[in-house]
Amino acid sequence: DGQGPWAPCLWKGLLCFILLLTHSVSSSAQYSPPALVSIILFLSLSPQQNGKSDPRVPQWILGHRAPYYGSRIVVHKNGTLEIRNIRPSDTGDFICVARNDGGESVLVVQLEVTEMLRRPMFKNPFNEKIIAKPGKTITLNCSVDGNPPPDISWMLPNGTWFPSSIRTPQFVTGGSGTLTIYNPEGHHAGRYRCAARNQVGYIEKLLLLELAQKPNILTRPAGLVKGVSGEPLSLHCVAEGSPRPRVEWTLPGGRVLERPQLSGRFLLLENGTLLIRAASAQDTGSYLCRAHNDAGDSSLTVPVVVTAYAPRIAGRPPPAIHTLPGAAVQLHCVVLGIPKPEITWELPDGSILSTAHRGRGSNPQASNSGVYKCTARNPLGTDTAVTHLHAAPGLGSSLQWLSSKAATST
């Protein structure tokens, strides 16, 4: 029942002591043993009371090996067994047998060699962001390695510390470093701190808990969205939520665009906007935007009409014009159409004037007479108007022709 490094015991008149000599060793990256460099099992033999001779040098036995000798093992004359460079494989029961003419005594010594002490180390050392669904139980994991096994505690966002093996109506801490949260709600979101401590070290890591939020679509058009054929058309679908929602569009024909991409005339942007680069009448229909994440989804239907019709010359020049002495002549050509038509004038000499360009004849001669043709053109068709100009020879008149404005109408 001795205490301390010297542990005396009596066995059949045999007095024995066990002395463990330890030495600190700097740890390697692998934390390999030994923690004990050497161990000495010290045996003191007391004389028998009946006058018999003292025992001979005892023998040490380990399992099936008898006697126990080797390059690291020395048995001294006084019975001490010394093991150098102790290893975990040296763990076992050592049996000391001492004999003399009066008989023998046996002592069993149990030797346990443990691994080297290691400071705590997280299996995942990085801070983490975790998203939980409202009302669904979630477990935060803080796996730690170390020797001896570290004690793990948790700090909640409100500053409360929970040691291992604590159970409350909403929180349970497990011995393996877990923190379970039952029916999480909005006030459970925040910064959770996991701490691990043993005899040789202390470490912490941060876990950020967020509660998932169902997507909410912020942009909703008021009624029908009108587009003009041939021009770009943007359909917006900006959504918020946690985690960040993914946006997809279903086109009127059933085709689905699921991620930012360029597909033909359609471009789905990172912010959820669908861009039709050159709208046409065939793009008319209902477009479905769907925003979804782990917490759910929301959808929005956007009705679209793309207006388009062929050019129509609404304000035509007269079929024939006769010039008067000293008078200017204007030829008008007012056009309606979607998309906006292009207007050209063809002069009697075959030359062409395009929209927004003016020509003015100075001192027109009889050669100014002839057919003037206005042409309005867009992708859906063309329309023309013709007028005949008669300029009397010798009359002093000036001629001005205009490529009139092209108008659009819905």
pLDDT tens, residue by residue, 53-73: 455 667 777 755 555 556 788
In percent, the amount of the chain with pLDDT more than 90 equals: 36
pLDDT in tens, 160-172: 999 888 899 999 9
Lateral strand order in the sheet of 309-315: 309-315, 334-338, 406-407
Predicted local distance difference test score (pLDDT) of residue 70: 66
157: phi then psi, degrees, rounded to nearest 5: -60, -25
Contact partners, residue 260, CB within 8 Å, separation at least 6: 268, 269, 270
Q: Which domains does the chain have, with CATH numbers?
A: 9-111 (2.60.40.10), 118-211 (2.60.40.10), 215-307 (2.60.40.10), 310-407 (2.60.40.10)
Please confirm whether the linkage preceding 148 is cis (ω < 30° from 0): yes
Q: What is the mean pLDDT of residues 173-192?
A: 92
Q: What is the mean pLDDT of residues 385-394?
A: 80
3-class DSSP state of 34: coil
Lateral strand order in the sheet of 320-322: 320-322, 381-390, 370-378, 342-346, 352-354
Going by their DSSP bridges, the two strands 266-268 and 274-276 should be labelled as antiparallel
Q: What is the mean pLDDT of residues 337-366?
A: 73
For 158, the token pair is 């409100």
| Per-residue confidence band for 326, with pLDDT thresholds at 50, 70 and 90 | low
Who has greater pLDDT, 115 or 26?
115
C-alpha to C-alpha distance for 232 and 18, rounded to whole angstroms: 92
Q: What is the mean pLDDT of residues 122-130?
A: 91
pLDDT in tens, 304-325: 999 888 899 988 888 888 876 5
C-alpha to C-alpha distance for 127 and 122, rounded to whole angstroms: 11
Of 21-25, 86-90, 252-256, which gets the smallest average pLDDT?
21-25
Contact partners, residue 87, CB within 8 Å, separation at least 6: 33, 34, 113
0.85 surpassed by pTM: no
Predicted local distance difference test score (pLDDT) of residue 231: 86
C-alpha to C-alpha distance for 16 and 130, rounded to whole angstroms: 60
Predicted local distance difference test score (pLDDT) of residue 180: 95
